[in-house]
């Protein structure tokens, strides 16, 4: 099933693990790869990348009106970047901040989703279902506490508020928000409820494709086509309407050694290829910083992204 380029082109120069809170490497930016490029040997250290845009690190830019985070499944960054079977994801990478040193935090899927959403894996080490966390803080509860909004959209979820472990191509392990009792059932919605009028989106939305379209059980080409169909219009809208689209993966295909595809597109974000080191806690910290929320758990030990913002 797996198609694309070798996931091992830069393994010799990457760290064996990425610990939350590890200091960033020197941060630089180079122009994004064109969508038609053959996959390059991806530089893994900033001293191999020549800066093309001057400027000092800065805080997260203007608070976005909306953030949409789409989480795909189990691919190395090098499986996607430069792969002719992923033309849309490569096009998207050329339009936004293309993060070359983005990593999952563990294996398997479920603890990565929990880390991204709440700053902790909560001791979860497997995909066992169900998980339940009483009064545990998370991004959704933080937003709601300050009068903002959150909704998680899962493809193939049979109905709003469904708490079952699986149904068809839906699996709860890819839906972290359903595990927290301080979020109402109404925040757990099928992807079919994702608004066509983007002004009606919640402040922050997480999107979990089903087991096929997320690339877990189906091909990179399938996931790429799904992304283009459902998110190209939003990506272009976000650039004009003070919003972000974040596309990332839960983990790579072989552990924490190799980077995952992470791209952030939107107004106020400077397109380019960035060696700023990050993981799921960094992404959570960046969103929290944008909305002036206190960092949760291990997100507090990381710094928000600082190089991707327009001055």
Residue 47 pLDDT > 80, yes or no?
no
Parent domain of 153: 57-301
* Residues near 223 by beta carbon (within 8 Å), at least 6 away in sequence: 72, 86, 209, 213, 214, 215
Q: Mean per-residue pLDDT for 211-235?
A: 98
At residue 67, what are phi and psi to the nearest 5 degrees?
-130, 130
Domain count, the chain: 1
In a domain, 310, yes or no: no
Tell me the average pLDDT across 37-65: 48
Residue (of 113, 98, 15, 58) closest to 304 by Cα position: 58
Omega of the bond prior to 186 within 30 degrees of 0, cis?
no
Tell me, yes or no, whether 184 lies in a domain. Answer: yes
**CATH number of the domain encompassing residue 109:** 3.40.720.10
What's the confidence (pLDDT) of residue 69?
Answer: 99
Express each pLDDT in 157-208 by its tens digit.
999 999 999 999 999 999 999 999 999 999 999 999 999 999 999 999 999 9
Residue 237, phi then psi, degrees to nearest 5? -65, -40
- Among 154, 151, 34, 173, CA closest to 90: 34
pTM as predicted = 0.83
Residue 17 lies in a domain: no
Q: Do the domain assignments include residue 32?
A: no
What was the pLDDT predicted at 255?
60
Strand, coil or helix: 286:
helix
Contact (Cβ atoms closer than 8 angstroms) between residue 160 and residue 186: yes
CA 172/CA 177 separation, integer angstroms: 10
Phi and psi, residue 220, nearest 5°: -60, -40
- pLDDT of res. 311: 78
Whether 15 is covered by a domain: the verdict is no
Report how far residue 154's alpha carbon sits from residue 75's, in angstroms, rounded to the nearest whole number: 20
Phi/psi zone of residue 216: left (φ > 0), alpha (ψ -120 to 50 degrees), beta?
alpha
Q: Is residue 6 part of a domain?
A: no
Burial track 291-304 (b if 16+ CB lie within 10 A, e otherwise): bebebbbbbeebbb
Confidence of residue 60 (pLDDT cuts 50, 70, 90): confident
Nearest to 261 by CA among 109, 14, 89, 118: 89
241: in domain:
yes
Which tens digit of pLDDT belongs to each residue from 103-131?
A: 999 999 999 999 999 999 999 999 999 99
For residue 37, tell me if it sits in a domain.
no
Q: N- to C-terminal Cα distance for the chain?
A: 43
Instruction: Report the 10 Å Cβ neighbour count for 123.
Output: 8
């Amino acid at each position: 099933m797996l198609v694309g380029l070798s996931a091992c082109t830069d393994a010799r120069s990457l760290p064996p693990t990425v610990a939350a809170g590890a200091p960033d490497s020197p941060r630089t930016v180079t122009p994004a790869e064109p969508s038609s490029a053959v996959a390059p040997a991806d530089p893994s250290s900033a001293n191999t990348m020549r800066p093309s845009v001057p400027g000092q690190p800065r805080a997260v830019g203007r608070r976005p009106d909306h953030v949409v985070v789409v989480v795909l499944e189990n691919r190395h960054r090098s499986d996607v970047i430069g792969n002719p079977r992923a033309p849309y994801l490569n096009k998207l990478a050329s339009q936004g901040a293309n993060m070359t040193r983005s990593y999952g935090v563990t294996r398997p899927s479920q603890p990565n989703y929990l880390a991204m959403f709440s700053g902790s894996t909560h001791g979860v080490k497997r995909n066992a279902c169900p998980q339940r966390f009483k009064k545990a803080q998370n991004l959704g509860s933080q937003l709601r506490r300050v009068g903002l909004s959150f909704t998680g959209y899962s493809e193939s979820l049979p109905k709003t508020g469904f708490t079952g472990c699986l149904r068809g191509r839906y699996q709860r392990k890819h839906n972290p928000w359903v595990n927290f009792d301080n979020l109402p059932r109404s925040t757990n919605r099928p992807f079919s409820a994702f608004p066509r009028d983007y002004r009606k989106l919640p402040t922050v939305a997480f999107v979990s494709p089903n087991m096929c379209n997320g690339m877990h059980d189906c091909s990179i080409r399938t996931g790429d086509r799904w992304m283009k169909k459902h998110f190209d219009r939003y990506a272009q809208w976000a650039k004009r309407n003070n919003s972000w689209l974040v596309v990332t993966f839960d983990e790579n295909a072989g552990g924490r050694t190799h980077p995952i595809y992470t791209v952030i597109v939107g107004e106020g974000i400077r397109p380019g290829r960035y060696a700023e080191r990050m993981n799921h806690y960094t992404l959570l910290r960046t969103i929290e910083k944008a909305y002036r929320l206190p960092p949760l758990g291990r997100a507090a030990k990381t710094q928000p992204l600082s190089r991707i913002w327009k001055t």
